[in-house]
Chain A
Amino acid sequence: MFLNAVVIVLQEILEAALMLSLLLAFVRYFNLVNGGAALLRRDWVLLSIVFGILLAWIYSHNFSRISDSFDYVGLEITNASIHTVSCACLVSLAWLFPVKKSDAYSSNRLFGLILCMVAVVVLAILREGSEIMQFGGGILGQGEAGLPIFYGGVVGAGIGVSTGVLLYYALTGLSIDGSLKACVLLLALTAGNMASQAILLLNQADWLPFTPTAWDTSALLGESSVLGQLAYALIGYEATPSILQVVAYLLGLIVVLASPVSRLAWVGWRKQAV
């Protein structure tokens, strides 16, 4: 039971923690290239987390009601919608990110940027938090027998949060150019991951036809191993993705990589750079 708890909690916490680290690294990059002043603020983070937890609590208490809707695939449909909106927000983030000095001070653009980040964090916590709450609710009734599960949860959460913290320090410890490259790449991979997850959920709900498995690397890197979990959270690794999932993943990846901020990171619009 210990190992199951580690895997379940790690999967959820890791995804949310990495997402938060990525966004904070983006904010830091933006403020750094704009003279170090806090042009893009960070006070929304705590509020988003609290709001996300509140929504997750409401969501987890209505699991059965949501699950019964849409011919008993309500949970899959809701989760697919959450993933789709998250993906759209990540793509908008890449396209809204100011690459010109004049844009960096446009309050409309900055507001849009913060709105996207808030939505991404709230949805990540809603998604992952509700599952942890559902899981945690199960342990509470088990008394002494719940101890291994509790230990597993703490270990999973510890690994997830510390990986998030270290990723943030790694991203912000790079040079300014390197930091932007890494952030954009991770953003693209996360957007691809969200798109692929949405497809998987719609498949499970039978709203989309199943397509053949594109490949099987479960022997090489198991999805439930710690490393597999990290790869899943970081680059959306799946051992046996369907062809439709791969297509959605690539689409999400390409749309982010085609954005102005990606061109800024690789081609380098030095002259009009923020």
Chain B
Amino acid sequence: MRSIRVFLATSIVSLLILFNFVAAVQGYQSSMREADALFDNQMLDLALLVSNLDVRDERLRSLQLGGDLAFQIWQDDTLLAASANAPVQALHEFSEGYDYANFNSYRWRTLARFDQVHEKWVFIAERMDLRFVLAENVVLQSVGPLLLGIPLVGLLVWAFVSRGLAPLQRLSLMLKAKPANDLAPIEFGESRVELDQVVASINSFVARLDAAMDREKRFSADAAHELRTPISALKIQLHNFAATVDADSESYRELQQGIDRMQHLIEQLLALYRSSPEQFAAKGKPVDLLGLAQEVVARLYPEFENKDQQISLESEAGTGRDALVIDGESFALETLLTNLLINASRYTPQGGQVVVALLRQGDKVILSVEDDGVGIALDDRERIFDRFTRLSSAQIGSVSGCGLGLAIVRHVADLHHATVSVASSRFSRGTAFIIEFDAEQTINHREKEA
């Protein structure tokens, strides 16, 4: 993924380097030309000076002008005087102006000047390499700081770009930290032209979402209320009906089962809705899981008895009651246990076994429900937690259900920051549902975070 910060910093630094360095090259070239002109002017001054020397002075013969300069004074093909390092032949043509010459193993810049007053030719020569090095060193004095400055500029650009993007980063962190069920508008304290519109759009979107959720909540509550009443009425009517018709007849039983299924479906739909993270706003309080399990097992005991199933509740020997207390929402946890136990009873044949076990392992409180029923194929173990998922009849036979039970189990587990896993049971066949609660990370913890 492309980062705005990297893009801005690298493109700005690249542009700076490109323009500065090209300018440095151009500056170098023009400065070198200027330096050349300056050196040429100096040679002209020297020529004027030399033309005024007394050529009869013998000392002139051995005059050294430093290694980088040489001169000759000519009159009508006769060398009148020259510096010690000058060649014997003329170092320049007898015509006024600048040129180049090679002698003493070096390349020289040469100048010829005719002195009208004394009718003499003055030739001056300057070593090119020394002159070039001198000029280059002067010109490069300005390039050095430019090169040293670039890493500093790079760091500064990075710092400023990061600073400029900091509000965007803070906004992004703020959005990331927002809990899924928090639909309150964002209060972003920093006003920025570029971000104000984004914040306003997000807030307007969240407000519309909040309103839609509200409508859905009202609809669900209304629908549940509206549906519960006629179903209760239907059940009463059915009960009364039993007095006039044969209660053992097939049509009566089917009618009764249909009404029970409808009631169950509505209860499950409501439970699913109430346990979704968007809706769940309950504050956690200590829940004694062992006590809760005992209550649920006792309540569902008739179901197991009807199918001659053995239901047992285990808690690890020596585990104190306090060790099995977690911060949670007891109604939701009761729904979770009920759903797991009803499922176990349904998919376990007549005379089967179901075991509810509770144990503490370090920071974990582990609840498992195992049966010796039909079992669940490996491939299906993740899928079964999706809403309205039912396994094929080849696997589960004619067991009825609406496919919401395990979706609710997962919702409740998620709310408690618990993990749900499916494994093979301790019996030769069957399924084990294992819920691992983190004793430190429960609803209260979440509320504190929020």
Contacts and interface: CB of A to CB of B under 8 A. Distances in A.
A228 to B, nearest CB: 13
B28 A2 contact: yes
A155 B13 CA distance: 14
Interface stretch (B136-144, B159-167, B170-178): B136-144
Given A2-B28, A169-B11, A162 B18 contact: yes
B17 A159 contact: yes
Contacts of A151: 140, 143-144, 147
Interface string B138-161: 011001100100100000000000
Contacts of B331: none
A204 interface: no
Contacts of A145: 133
Contacts of A161: 14, 17
Contacts of B24: 155
B29 A3 contact: yes
Interface in A192-212: none
B138 to A, nearest CB: 11
Contacts of A2: 28, 136, 139-140, 143
A147 B18 contact: no
A115 interface: no
Interface residues of B, number: 23
Interface string B99-134: 000000000000000000000000000000000010
B14 A226 contact: no
B202 interface: no
Interface of A: 1-3, 6, 145, 147-148, 151, 154-155, 158-159, 161-163, 165-166, 169, 226
List 5 A-B pairs, minimum CB-CB distance, nearest first. A162-B14, A162-B17, A165-B14, A162-B18, A158-B17
A170 B97 CA distance: 51
Nearest to A147: B140
Given A155-B24, A155-B25, A169-B11, A148 B17 contact: no
A163 to B, nearest CB: 6
Given A155-B24, A155-B25, A155-B147, A166 B140 contact: no
Contacts of B143: 2, 151, 155
B147 A165 contact: no
A27 B63 CA distance: 71
Nearest to B132: A1
26 contacts: A2-B28, A2-B143, A3-B25, A6-B25, A145-B133, A147-B140, A148-B136, A148-B137, A151-B143, A155-B21, A155-B143, A155-B147, A158-B17, A158-B21, A159-B17, A159-B18, A159-B25, A161-B14, A161-B17, A162-B15, A162-B17, A162-B21, A165-B10, A166-B11, A166-B15, A226-B22
Contact of B140 (A148, A162, A165): A148
A162 B153 CA distance: 14
Given A151-B143, A162-B17, 9 more contacts: A2-B136, A6-B25, A148-B140, A155-B21, A155-B25, A159-B21, A161-B14, A162-B21, A163-B14
A154 B147 contact: yes
Contacts of B147: 151, 154-155, 158
B18 A169 contact: no
A3 B22 CA distance: 11
Contacts of B29: 3
Contacts of B144: 151
A165 B18 CA distance: 10
A235 B273 CA distance: 65
A249 to B, nearest CB: 27
Nearest to B146: A155
B28 A3 contact: yes
Nearest to B14: A162
Q: Which of A2, A154, A163 has the most CB of B within 10 A?
A: A2
A3 B136 CA distance: 10
A213 B25 CA distance: 31
A59 to B, nearest CB: 28
Contacts of A1: 136
A163 B18 contact: yes
B130 to A, nearest CB: 12
Nearest to A38: B1
Contacts of A158: 17-18, 21, 147, 150
Q: Which of B11, B17, B29, B139 has the most CB of A within 10 A?
A: B17
A165 B11 contact: yes
Contacts of A163: 14, 18
Contacts of B139: 2
A31 B124 CA distance: 69
A2 B14 CA distance: 21
A170 B349 CA distance: 70
B311 to A, nearest CB: 50
A263 B139 CA distance: 52
B140 A169 contact: no
